[in-house]
Amino acid sequence: MSAAEGPLVVGVDSSTQSTKALVVDASTGRVVASGQAPHTVSSGAGRETDPRQWWDALGEALRQCGEAAHEAAAVSVGGQQHGLVTLDGRGEPVRPALLWNDVRSAPQARRLTEELGGAKFWAERTGSVPAASFTVTKWAWLAEHEPEAVRATKAVRLPHDYLTERLTGQGTTDRGDVSGTGWWASATEAYDEEILEHVGLDPALLPRVARPGEVAGTVRDGHDLPFSRGTLVAPGTGDNAAAALGLGVRPGVAVMSLGTSGTVYAVSRQRPADPSGTVAGFADARGDWLPLACTLNCTLAVDRVATLLGLDREAVEPGTAVTLLPYLDGERTPNLPNASGLLHGLRHDTTAGQLLQAAYDGAVHSLLGALDLVLDGDADSSEPLLLIGGGARGTAWQQTVRRLSGRPVQVPEARELVALGAAAQAAGLLTGEDPAAVARRWDTAAGPVFDAVERDEETLARIAGVLSDAAPLLERPTDTH
C-alpha cells in the first residue's frame, strides 16, 4: 500500500443493520482502510436498537482499520435518520432507540397533523408533513405509551448525534439530520418552539445545531477508540444527506438509493414544502435543500419475497398479469402505515420468477411515483438517474428501474457513499472546501451508464390501478402477532 498523499480522515456510516468506517486519503479520495461490524434490530411490532450497540460497532469497525484510524486528523459520522434516542442524566440510554422503520406512531402522526393546523401548516413550517417514521411522532408515541421513560429523559438525540456526542462530549447535530425530526423549522432554521411545546419536549433537551463546515469538537479522552487525542470531529449528518455529499450531487441531478429503505432525492436551492406529504423537505448538509421521498420496503422486502419463493434474488422472469405490492413493513410512500403485502392477478400459469419480478416492480413503482415531485421543474430528464445503495449493482434492480423510469441510469463504482460523504465532510474541515466539491474532486460518481429504454407504461398503469382499488384494504390494520 502506497503512502497517503494528504491527511487521512475517517467517514462513518452507522446504518440500520451495521456500522462501517472508512479511512480515506483526503487528497485523492483513496480508501486506505475499512471496517464493519453489525448491530441487531428488534422484530415484532416495533423496530428498536440499543444505541450502545452502535458505539460498540463503531469501535470494532475502527479497530479493523488498524493504525490508519489512529493517524486520521478528522472524523465525521453519517447515520440513519429519524431515530429517537433518549438519554438519562449520565448519558446512558433510557430505553432502546426507536428506529426510522418503527411505524407504531402512525396514530400520533395523524393526530399531530390535525392538532397543529393540518398538512399545510407542517409543510410550510418544517418542510414536511409528519409521518410515522419522524422523530416527533415517536416522541409523542413514547409520551403516550411510556410516560416514565419520558420523565427519565434528560437528553434527546438522533442516532448520529449520539455517536458524535460520545466522541466529543458535546451535544450537537446538523441541519441535514435535524430537518427530519419534525421539530426544526426549515424557514427559520431553528427549533420550532410551538411544536416542541405541543408535544411536551423541552428544547433544553435537544442538541445544538452546528453550521455546515463547523468543527463540532475534538475526540475527548476516556474512550477506547483508536483515535489520537484532539482529532477533529465534524457535525456529521443523516445518511441521505451524507450520500448526497459522497456523490458531490449538483442541483437537478436525481438520485435513487436502493437499500433497506428506498429513497429518491435531489439537491435543490429552493426550500421544499409539499403539503401532500409525499416529499419530505429536508435540508442538506451544505446549506441547500434535499427534497426526498422514501419508501419503507425496498431490498429487504424483495429479498424476503425471493426467500419465500426459494429463489435467488436475480431469478426474475418477465410477466404481464401479476401485481405484488411488497409493503411488508407498512409503507410511507404511499402513506399506508398499516399496510401489509398484497398480491393480485395470480393464475395457474404464473411462475415464481414472475412473482419475484412483480415484487421488484412494486418496490420501484412507489419510488418513481415521487421522482417528478422531488425534481425542480427545470430538471433535465435526459440526465442519468444515479442509482446507489445495496441494490444498485443487482441486474434485476437495474433493469427494473430502467424499464419503469424510461431514463438512462448511472451506477457509481464508489461503494459506501454514506461513509464517503462523511469522509468528505471531515476532509472539508481540514481544507476549507465544500464537502461536495471534495467528493467531485475524488470523482466518486464515476461509473457505467446504461442507456434509456422505452418506459413500460402498461405495468405502471396496472400497478397504479391495483393500488387505487385496494386502498381500503391496505389502510386496514392487520394483526401483527
Catalytic residues: 239
Measured CA to CA, the distance from residue 464 to residue 474 in angstroms comes to 13
Integer Cα distance of 358 and 305 in angstroms: 10
DSSP 352-401: HHHHHHHHHHHHHHHHHHHHHHHS-TT--TTSPEEEESTTTT-HHHHHHH
The Cα angle at residue 58 between residues 53 and 64, in degrees rounded to 5: 125
Task: Judge contact between 125 and 195, C-beta under 8 A.
Answer: yes
3-state class of 171 per DSSP? Answer: coil
Residue 464 identity (one-letter amino acid):
A
Question: Cell numbers of 222, please?
Answer: 476516556
Determine if residue 184 is left, alpha or beta; phi over 0 gives left, psi from -120 to 50 gives alpha, anything else beta.
beta
Retrieve residue 160's grid coordinates. 448520529
Sorted by sequence, the CB contacts under 8 Å of residue 151 that are 6+ apart come out as none
**Strand 232-233 versus strand 74-79 pairing type:** parallel
Angle of helix 159-168 versus helix 51-65 axis, rounded to 10: 60
Contact 417, 377 (CB under 8 A): no
Q: What is the C-alpha to C-alpha distance for residues 481 and 477, in angstroms, rounded to an integer?
A: 12
Those residues with Cβ within 8 angstroms of residue 288's Cβ, 6 or more apart along the chain or in another chain: 251, 267, 268, 269
CA dist 448 and 397 (Å) reads 15
Check: CB of residue 108 under 8 Å from CB of residue 184: no
Burial 13-32 (b: 16+ CB within 10 A, else e): bbbbeebbbbbbbbbebebb
Question: Rounded to 10 degrees, what is the CA torsion of 260, 264, 270, 272?
Answer: -60
